Amino acid sequence: MNYKTRIIFTALLVIFTAHYASAQRTMSGQSSLRASSLFNGRSVCAEAFYERYTLGGYWDAGVTTNNFALPAGNLSVKVADLTAAGGYMHRLAATRSRSLNLYAGGGILAGAELVDPLKEIPDYISSGAKAVDFIYGIYARLCAEWFWSQRVGMVFHGSVPMVFNSYGSVLRWNVGAGIKIVL
């Protein structure tokens, strides 16, 4: 990227994030995108959500990946989940400028679980699980968002999903951090 392109890109980014019309960033009807990295005690995963604010919080819908390894005798069986999730977060507290917000809520999830997705275990050894299985569940989440600009902010959250029909554990936990962009 040449010098002039970088200056134009930086100027557009500053205008987009500091525009006066976005002062009410969490007003009802305002949309945002969130991308986060998650840590579940065994691996780092990712999620992406579309969110829309309401008077007392926001609803969200998106996709989440979850990877972990389970001990199976002398071997370790890797499991990968891909789920669609959606729910509602209620605002517990906020600063007057809404630059710092705290939410609590939950939702539902459904998706697919792949056992040994990279086929690392030889075929003659059976894990006792289906290669692909349908999973579903519910989750509770606590989330804090900090806007350091009019339209861009950091998100810190922790969640406890209960995943049913899973080869792995039913009760899990995730902590994560990400970025939120208000549209």
Whole-prediction pTM value? 0.71
The domain spans of the chain are: 24-182
Closest C-alpha to 159, from 87, 96, 110: 87
> Average per-residue pLDDT in the chain?
79
Please identify which residue in the block is written with the tokens 């519910």.
Answer: 138
pLDDT of 148 higher than 90: no
> Is 46 within 8 Å of 67 (Cβ atoms)?
no
- Architecture (CATH level 2) of domain 24-182: Beta Barrel (2.40)
Each residue of 7-41: pLDDT tens digit? 887 776 665 555 444 346 677 778 888 999 888 87
Closest C-alpha to 163, from 28, 64, 77, 72: 64
- Considering 99-103, 104-108, 124-128, 170-174, the range whose residues carry the highest mean pLDDT is 104-108
Pair type for strands 31-39 and 75-94: unpaired
As given in the structure block, the two tokens for residue 36 are 């986060």
Q: What percent of the chain has pLDDT over 90?
A: 17
